Amino acid sequence: MQSSNRRMGIMTDVHRRFLQLMMTHGVLEEWEVKRLQRHCYKVHDSTATVDKLEDFINNINSVLESLYIEIKKGVTEDDGRPIYALVNLATTPISKMASDFAENELDLFRKALELIIDSETGFASSTNILNLVDQLKGKKMRKKEAEQVLQKFVQNKWLIERWPPVSILQKEGEFTLHGRAILEMEQYIRETRPDAAKTCNICHSLLIQGQSCETCGIRMHLPCVAKYFQSNSEPRCPHCNDYWPHEIPEVFDPEQEREPGVSRPNKKSLRSRQH
């Protein structure tokens, strides 16, 4: 047998099935990935002990390395849930969408992406995106159509929509990048918009939405804030030491998540600060 696998790890049927399923599902949350892993073991090799997920994935990634693809782990920016996706490091991520969307739809996405990156909050309002409809390449798109295309992006997990809690004046939604899109596009964004791309002061990866220090302007992801200021009664900016003015979110606890996908009830409630 040819041992051409000199650089590769060991791929068994368990790993192959896992990869197939990862490919099928696009992006998965950690609990889903664990379940998938257990399933693959059960199907192929029920006697073996299930590898720790991190080692399991590292093993697979060592094989995938030469193919320029990787199972990437990320964290959702809003509530810190770990997610995994199989990404292709070699191609521009827009091309991954290219088979799904028409030219004008892709351009709409690009425009939305630009708005999101340039925005202060990491969100682009529906109105602002739709106002760019006339500038799209390809077939002419009406605003109504564009709204549906935006919904398609949400369904396919490229964008997330939310309704800002703020005011009655803003009746429409705003959009930001889905965690999956960030995983796929981080490299691309950093390369094409290095000036505009924001970084988290803690983890140094791309930041789309987060909190920022009002004095010195450094930014942090919400989950990074949660971890950094965990059980710190007087949170201070790591850079300028000024009092951190924002609400500190809870650290994501996988044990607490019984109902996946449902936001935890205490997440949005104001946390009482102990001084």
Partner 1 sequence: MVPLPPRPTRPLRKAPRGSNAHFLSRSPRRERRLEELLDAEALPLSEGAEMSEQSKDGCDPNFALEASSSEVHSSPEVPGGPPLPAPEAATLAEPESPPLGPTDAPLASPPPPAPMEEGDPKALQQAAEEDRAHQAPSAAQPGPAPPAPAQLVQKAHELMWYVLVKDQKRMIIWFPDMVKDVIGSYKKWCRSILRRTSLILARVFGLHLRLTSLHTMEFSLVKALEPEELDRVALSNRMPMTGLLLMILSLIYVKGRGARESAVWNVLRILGLRPWKKHSTFGDVRKLITEEFVQQNYLKYQRVPHVEPPEYEFFWGSRASREITKMQIMEFLARVFKKDPQAWPSRYREALEEARALREADPTAHCPRSSVSED
Structure tokens at 145: 């159509």
**Can residue 142 be called a binding residue for partner 1 (CB under 8 A)?**
no
Q: What is the 3-state secondary structure (H, E, C) of 179-236?
A: HHHHHHHHHHHHHHCCCCCEECCCCCCEECCCEECCCCCCEECHHHHHHHCCCCCCCE
Q: Which is nearer to partner 1, 103 or 242 (CB)?
A: 103
| Residue 131: DSSP 8-state | T
Q: What angle do CA 30, 34, 37 make, to 5 degrees?
A: 135
Strands, E assignment, the chain: 27-29, 69-75, 82-88, 124-125, 159-162, 174-177, 198-199, 206-207, 211-212, 219-220
Whole-angstrom Cα Rg for the chain: 21
Cβ 17 to partner 1 shortest distance, Å: 5
Instruction: Kindly identify the residues of this chain, within the stretch 147-166, that bind partner 1 according to CB under 8 A.
Output: 155, 157
Which segment (14-22, 223-231, 235-243, 262-270) binds partner 1 by CB under 8 A?
A: 14-22
Q: Which is nearer to partner 1, 39 or 227 (CB)?
A: 39
Contact code string over 38-67 relative to partner 1, x by CB under 8 A? xx--xxx------------------xx--x
Instruction: Kindly identify the residues of this chain, within the stretch 235-254, that bind partner 1 according to CB under 8 A.
Output: none
Cβ 43 to partner 1 shortest distance, Å: 7
Which of these, 61, 9, 82, 20, lies nearest to 37 by C-alpha position?
20
End-to-end CA distance of the chain: 67
User: Rounded distance, CA 34 to CA 52, Å?
Assistant: 9
Q: Establish how many alpha carbons lie within 13 A of residue 118's alpha carbon, considering only the half-sphere containing its beta carbon.
A: 10
Cβ 256 to partner 1 shortest distance, Å: 19
Strand-pair partners of 160: 176
Instruction: Kindly identify the residues of this chain, within the stretch 71-110, that bind partner 1 according to CB under 8 A.
Output: 88, 90-91, 96, 99-100
Q: How many residues belong to the site for partner 1 (CB under 8 A)? A: 36
Instruction: Kindly identify the residues of this chain, within the stretch 21-40, that bind partner 1 according to CB under 8 A.
Output: 21, 23-26, 28, 32, 35-36, 38-39
Q: Which is nearer to partner 1, 18 or 252 (CB)?
A: 18
Which segment (9-17, 129-137, 181-189, 231-239) binds partner 1 by CB under 8 A?
A: 9-17
Cβ 90 to partner 1 shortest distance, Å: 7
Residue numbers of the site for partner 1 (CB under 8 A)? 1-2, 4, 11, 13, 16-17, 19-21, 23-26, 28, 32, 35-36, 38-39, 42-44, 63-64, 67-69, 88, 90-91, 96, 99-100, 155, 157
